[in-house]
A and B are shown apart, each in its own frame.
Chain A
Amino acid sequence: MNALHPSDEPQPGPGIVEQLARDDVERKKFLRMAGRRVGTGVAASGLAAFIAACGSSSSSSSRSTSAAAAGGSSSMSSSAASADPAGTGDLAIVNYALTLEYLEAQFYAKVGRSGLFSGKTLSVLKTFGMEEAEHVLALKKVAGSLGTPAKRPVGRFPIKSASQVAKLAGTVENLGAAAYLGQAGNIQSREILAAALAIHSVEARHAATLNTLLKLSPTPEGAFAKPMTMAQVLTVVKPFIA
């Protein structure tokens, strides 16, 4: 196990390292265009892409149905989302997390209303949804203390059957855990890092619970969970943004 060796790349696999290198070029280009100083890590370019993806959804009319779930209302008057300053450094990372949490909270709210679940499973899903909504609230406040919070995206989640939803929930939670893990080293503020860690392990608990419900291993990656970059996360999330 060389995961801890200081000379090792924190990201697994050469493909991802190349991706990071590309991200770095893209990031610098983006930042130059934006007239900003160079930020940290891959945050800026990943988020730029993310915000661009969310931007296509800003005129959707299904927004109101998910407002209660996410607990947010600031995004009601969104114009072009690409004009939204995602920020750099910690603000960019917090806004990235906020966007993911918005989507998770919306997903669980929709699942809760679907009528596909009852009893214990429904109560687990409802609890997780409430916890995601708390993450939204906390991250929105942190983003607000650093700059402008990201607008609320509108999620588009297929809700067909109980097994399909459970599978999707598992995907979403494992993705969330990997997304937080991928940003830990990029966060500058200790307070924000502590908050991110406190959320990260809750996402991991959610993921393990859903994996168990799905009769999958609670630790699908073995002893060491794998991080994901913003670009990787975006690829998976894109189809779920309306």
Chain B
Amino acid sequence: MSNPNLQHPELAGVEVHGISRASFIMRGALAAGAAYGAGAVAPFVSSAFAAGGSGDVEILNFALTLEYLETDFYKVKGRTVGLSAEARALASSFGDEEAEHVAALTKAIGAAGGKPVAKPTFAFPVSSAAGFLKLAYVLENTGVGAYNGAGPSLVNKQYLAAAGSIVQVEARHAAAIALLIGSPVTPDGAFDKPLSKTQVLTKAGPLIKK
């Protein structure tokens, strides 16, 4: 079984902060084309969150922004595009779940001594049910990539556990929507690709109007 993910030319440029002996050994194995790990960790660990020492609160606030976006998307936009009964049921329960993520992240940021970001204003450039579901697929997959990308940079293990719990739900949302619109349920194959903060902003940024 050939695995296209096993080759990662970008491995050569991998930089990991606070590199440990074990990860150094890992990288040696990975550079030889062994596995997916280092390719996966590259974008976030080397640049986005960890580099600025921005820490857990910044990651949680970034996640909070995405969850606000998803909540608004399902709960507000979802009511205006004429969804089928099946799609409406999904959008309704997914919207409720995103709202729970918002509440949990807000609480966690407060507990960590941070200030939760204010809810932004959003604009979603879709007007049909089909357009809505297509964007839902993109947003959920972006959410998965964002959490997977940020996860290794979280220092507090409780936050990591919570982020893992949330990302699993985002992945489940993505798959359910994929089935609804006939898109691939595993768009990246056997390994979901992590996204850097910049990559996430490229996809979600245009929807945020402040």
Contacts and interface: CB of A to CB of B under 8 A. Distances in A.
18 contacts: A1-B107, A4-B111, A4-B158, A128-B186, A130-B1, A135-B190, A141-B34, A190-B153, A191-B16, A191-B30, A194-B194, A197-B194, A198-B192, A204-B171, A206-B185, A211-B172, A223-B97, A226-B165
Given A141-B35, A142-B34, A212 B175 contact: yes
Q: What does DSSP make chain B's interface, helix, strand, loop or mixed? A: helix
B176 A218 contact: yes
Q: What does DSSP make chain A's interface, helix, strand, loop or mixed? A: helix
A188 B37 CA distance: 13
Size category, B interface: 35 or more
A5 interface: yes
Interface of A: 1-8, 10, 71, 90, 124, 127-128, 130-135, 137-139, 141-142, 144-146, 177, 180-181, 184-185, 188-195, 197-202, 204-209, 211-212, 217-219, 221-227
B151 A197 contact: yes
A36 B57 CA distance: 37
B160 A205 contact: no
A146 B189 contact: no
Nearest to B28: A145
A236 B93 CA distance: 29
A227 B153 CA distance: 20
Contact of B107 (A5, A137, A225): A5
B132 to A, nearest CB: 18
Interface in B1-43: 1, 3, 5-6, 16, 20, 22-23, 25-30, 34-38, 40-41
A145 to B, nearest CB: 3
Contacts of B153: 190
Contact of B194 (A6, A145, A198, A209): A198
B2 to A, nearest CB: 9
Contact of B108 (A5, A131, A185, A223): A5
